[in-house]
Structure 1
Amino acid sequence: MAQRIDVKDLNIYYRDFLAVQDVSMSIEPRSVTAFIGPSGCGKSTFLRTLNRMHEVIPGARVEGTVEMEGVDLYGDDVDPVAVRRSIGMVFQRPNPFPTMSIRDNVLAGVKLNNKRISKSDADDMVESSLRGANLWNEVKDRLDKPGSGLSGGQQQRLCIARAIAVKPQVLLMDEPCSALDPISTLAIEDLIHELKKDYTIVIVTHNMQQAARVSDRTAFFNIAGTGKPGRLIEMNDTATIFSSPAEKATEDYVSGRFG
């Protein structure tokens, strides 16, 4: 189920502005890769290119290649909707559909893809997705209640359940805990550990301790100054990045000397 992603010589533009320059990396399946770096260095922009969310912004484009198991996701014959089905996204703030029930939130992506599904299959999918997001026991008796009635941490896990219901190969998470309290953050981190058994996970985080706790590999992005493009400075096993990075800028950032 989990898939490998290879990025080569990727440049990301907003019209004529080069936002992220010359990124190459490999993201291993069944692992957690964390992107760290100061605000404005292109972490989230780069994350969105991995499932072609970047190009929904007018004037946004990329040069270079993003391949999943050897298939160029930006190839002329590749459907961007199919890419986003294979590579799910969980956003910074929990965004369940407020007028939908918990059950309908889980099924939203499946229905959006025009998949006809029997009630029994839908029931199974709702339960398995909510179990996968460690939320089933908390909501199984109120599936018909609005998703917006859950706590912030529960809403974020509901969004994760919605993402995994369509059976993606990769899960992208853009600062999934930044709006959550410490207990909810711990629940999401525990969930990430569970999910990596079945998915390739990429997470953007400003929290150094979180990156150290949840990720197998860490990529450090930086920016030379206002108006300059973000760049990948260094990528390695997380333990190495935090204990003996190769670049001084990485060491300064993870030790809290800037950023």
Structure 2
Amino acid sequence: MSKRIDVHNLNVYYGDFLAVNDVSMTVEPRSITAFIGPSGCGKSTFLRTLNRMHEVIPGGRVEGQVLLDDEDLYAPGVDPVAVRRTVGMVFQRPNPFPTMSIGDNVVAGLRLNGVKDKKVLAEKTEQSLRGANLWNEVKDRLDKPGAGLSGGQQQRLCIARAIAVSPDVLLMDEPCSALDPISTLAIEDLMLELKKDYTIVIVTHNMQQAARVADRTAFFNLEATGKPGMLVEMNDTQKMFSNPDQRATEDYISGRFG
């Protein structure tokens, strides 16, 4: 598990509109990388290119390379569905499947992949819920609806569902924006635990969150509304928040704009 991501000269389009311009970066394995920047600068769009979710959007396409341990995710013949198994995603708002129980939510991806053995599914349910630090809270009500959990529990359920299929990378698009501070802390603690086994990339508008959990931070910006987003700077988080190389990064982090 846990793979390195190398992005080379990636341009991301919606139809003819260039949304993100010429991004190159490396994301190290077993680490947390945070994307920060003002709204509309392409952070989430770029994040979705890392597991080929961007092309689900009509007109969505990319130019350039995304390498996962030297394998080009956009090479001809690569199955996007297989990519999304390898690179899991947790979205901004918790989205457990409303008609499914807690247990069924966790193993939905495994069942989709053809796993039918009840013992295997039961073991994976417990393992994934323990991995998401949720097992003790739900072990006695696995047959109850996932939608009946609190917001923070639902988000951890979605993380359990994502890790149940044994991905190498976890992408998280503002995973705490809809949560209260206590639930946010639980998710942050979980991220720090999960990075022992996974490569994690998060988008966040919370500067303190990036400073608390990320090993490296990337700052995205755009020149003006309607212009493409771009990567301004990427570095170790401590340096980014104490002595960034670019004035725009310092202005954003200190709250002078954005």
Alpha-carbon distance in structure 1 between the residues aligned to 2:2 and 2:60: 28
CA distance in 1, matches of 2:185, 2:255: 22
CA shift, 1:237, in A, is 0.2
AA of the residue aligned to 1:169? D
Instruction: Please show how residues 12-27 of structure 1 align to structure 2 within 5 Å.
Output: 12-27=12-27
Distance 1:226 1:183 in 2: 35
In the alignment, is residue 48 of structure 1 matched against residue 48 of structure 2? Answer: yes
Tell me which amino acid in the other structure corresponds to 1:224: E
Report deviation, 1:116.
2.4
Following TM superposition, by how much is the alpha carbon of 1:46 offset from its aligned partner in structure 2, in angstroms? Answer: 0.1
Q: For 1:49 and 1:89, how far apart are their aligned partners in 2?
A: 11
Amino acid at match of 2:102: I
Asked if structure 1 preserves the Cα contact closer than 8 Å seen for 2:12 and 2:62, the reply is yes
Once residues 164 and 121 of structure 2 are traced to their aligned partners in structure 1, the CA distance between those partners, rounded to angstroms, is 10
CA distance in 2: counterparts of 1:116 and 1:240, whole angstroms: 45
What SS is found at the alignment partner of 2:85? helix
Alignment correspondent of 2:195? 196
Counterpart mapping for 1:1-259 below 5 A: 1-113=1-113, 115-259=114-258
User: How many aligned residue pairs are there?
Assistant: 258
Letter in structure 1 aligned against 2:126: E
Aligned residue identity for 1:230? G
* Residue deviations 1:3-29 (CA, integer Å, cap 9, x gap): 000000000000000000000000000
- The offset of 1:250, in angstroms, is 0.1
Helix, strand or coil at the partner of 1:193: helix
Aligned-partner Cα distance in 2 for 1:119–1:21: 47
Cα distance per residue 1:198-257 (max 9 Å; x no partner):
000000000000000010000000010011000000000000000000000000001111
Q: Is this contact kept in 1: 2:115–2:121, CA < 8 A?
A: no
Q: TM-score, normalized by length of structure 1?
A: 0.99
What's the CA shift for 1:118? 1.2
Deviation at 1:117, TM superposition (A): 3.0
Q: Please give the alpha-carbon distance, in whole angstroms, between the structure 1 residues aligned to 2:256 and 2:108.
A: 44
- Listed as ranges, the gaps of 5+ residues in structure 2 are none
Runs of 4 or more, structure 1, over 6 Å off, are none
* Alignment deviations for residues 84-135 of structure 1 (CA, whole Å, 9 cap, x no partner): 000000000000001100000001111122x223111111000000000000
Taking structure 2 as the reference length, the TM-score comes to 0.99
Counterpart-to-counterpart distance in 1, 2:171 and 2:24: 18
Measure the CA separation in 2 of the matches of 1:157 and 1:50: 22
Report SS of the residue matched to 2:107: helix
